[in-house]
Chains A and B, each alone.
Chain A
Amino acid sequence: MTQLALVIDLNVCVGCQACVTSCKEWNTSGSAGPMGDQDPYGADPTGTFFNRVQTFEVGEFPNTETVHFPKSCLHCEDPPCVPVCPTGASYKRKEDGIVLVNYDKCIGCKYCSWACPYGARELDEQQQVMKKCTLCVDRIYDMTMAADDRKPSCVKACPTSARLFGDIHDPESAVSIAIRESGGYALMPEWGTHPANHYLPRRKTRIKIHDDELERADNPLKVDRQLPRPAMNEPTLDDVTTW
C-alpha cells in the first residue's frame, strides 16, 4: 500500500514561509473553492491556511537555537479525525493514504478538528466547511504537468529543499531513506495516530580538519630545509604556495 507523505527537514528549514504562500496560492485558485480571508488588510486579519510555519527557540540564552517548524495535516496512518466525522465527509484514501474532506458533504460541525491533536484542520469561515492539507492531490496526479511539477506546491517552492515528498511505504523512496538514515520522527507519538509526515531533526554540522591537511609534512622545500614563501602567517593566494 502506498502512503504518500511529506518529510520536513528541520535542519535546513529557514522559516521563509515560501511553502505557506505557495500552498495558499495553489489551493485558493483550485476547483475546490477559495481559502477565504477575512479582514485581510484590517487590524485583525484571519483566514484559512493549510500550512503554517511556526518558530521556536530551544535552549537558554546564549546557547539557543531557532527552529522553524512547518505544520500541516500529517495524513496520519490511523487518523482519529476520520471515524468521528458523522457524515463521512472526512475520509482516508485507500490508494495513497491521503486524508481528505469532501467539501460537498461536510456540515461544518467541527467535530473532526476536536479529534485532531495537531490542530491541522481549520474551518473556512467563508465556505463553512472543514479544510486541511490535501497533499495537492489535484497536482500530483495531473498528467498534463511535467513530471517534475507533479509534487505538492510547498515542496516545489521550498528554496532549501527542506520538504521531501514520496511514499513512506516504499523502503527505497527518498523519503523512506531520509527517515531511516537521518532519524526521522513523528509528532506526538503518544497518541498512536502514526502520522505519515515525518520530521528530520536538527543535526550538528562539524568537520574535522587534520593538521596535515593544512600543512604538508612532505613539502620538498621543507625537506631541503627551506621555508616556503610567503610565510605561514602572511596573506597568501591559494595555489601560490603551499606549506
Chain B
Amino acid sequence: MTRIDFVEVAFDSLRINRLRSALTMLGVIIGVAAVILLVALGQGTKNYVEEQFAGLGSNILIVTPGKIETKGGPPIIGSVRHKLTLNDSRILEKKGYLFAGVAPVVFGTAEVRYQNRSRNVSILGVTPAFQEVRNLHVEIGSFLGEADVDARRRVCVLGRTVKRELFGNANALGQTVKVAGTLFRVVGIMEKKGISLGIDIDDLVFVPVRTAQELFDIDGLFEILVSVRNKNDLNSGKELATSLLKRAHNRNEDFTITNQAAILSSLYTILDTLTYVLGGIAAISLLVGGIGIMNIMLVTVKERTNEIGIRKAVGARNRDILLQFLFESTALATAGGIVGILAGVAGAYALRLLVPKLPVSIPAWSILLSFTFSVFVGVFFGVYPAKKAASLNPIEALRYE
C-alpha cells in the first residue's frame, strides 16, 4: 500500500471552499468559546467569593453570644441572658488543648479625630492573639501587647485607610488621636488588606479589648474567635468549646458556635456545580456545532460526488477518500477549536476589563477539555459522511451532476 498525500488533498479542498470551511468552523468556534467563557465566569464567581472569605481562615470557630433557636433567626441582643465574657475567653485559652489561639473581640463604632480631621470608623477591641487567629499583621510599629490589654492602656493600631485619611503621608506613629473623645496613642499601622466579607479591614481601628469595653461601657464580648491547631479537629474543637462554655454557664448552652469552614465548603460545592452546569450548557452548543459539521460534510459529499468519482476513476481507493474526508472534518473542528479557544480567552479578558471586581479566571482543564472535545467532534461527526463518500461507486459518482 502506498502512502497517499491525503493531508495535502484535504487542505486543497478546504482552501478552495474557504467560505464553507469558515462557516462550518463557526459552530465549533462558538461552542468552544462558550465553554471557556462560561467556565471562566463560574470560576470567577467562585474566586470572588473565595477572596471575600479569604483570611478568615478555614480553621476558625466563631463563638457568639445567644442561642439560635430552632425557630430560626439571628440571636437578638436583648434576648441574651448570659453574655460572653473575657472569663469565657480565658477558660477556652487555658483548657482548650486543641486550640491554637483564642481571640475575644469587642466591636463598636466611634469617631476618630486627629487635629481637624475626623472619620467614623469601626473599632475592634482585641488581644494580641487576634493577629495570629485572623492572620492580620502590623506593617509599621507594633501590635497591641498583653500589657496594653491588662493595663487598659489607651493605645491603638490604625488600619491603612484610617491612617491615610487622618494623617496623609505624615508619620502617625507615636501621635495621639481622639477616639470617641478620649486620647489614644498610635502604636502601629496595619498592613494593607482590602475588603473581606463586606468589611473594609483597612478602615478599622484596633484597641485593647478591655480598653474597648471601658470605651463603649460594656462588660460582654461581641464574639470569640477560636483557631483550631489541626483542621481535622474542627468538630472535636467545637465539642470541646461547647462543653467548656456550658460548664462555665451553669450548663446553659446560651451561645452559638459556628464552623465557618463547613458553611464555606458547602458554598464552594454549589459554586463548583454552577461552573460545571455552565460548562455543560456550553458543551451542548459544542455538540450542536459538531452536528453542524456532519450536516455540512454530508452536503459536501453530495455536492462533490462528481469529484469523488473522478478521484476514484484515476485510482483513489476507498481508504484514500475516507481519510481525505475524515481529515477535512477533523481539520475544520480542530481549527475551530483553536480559534474558539482564542476567542474564549479574549472574551474572558474583555470581561475582566469590563467587570474588574469579578476575578474571571480560565482553568486549564476547560481549555484542554474543549479542545479535545472539538477534535473528537470532528472525527466522530466526520466518520459517517466520510464512509458515505468512500463507498460511492465510481461510475455512478461520475455520472452525478
**B is a partner of A:** no
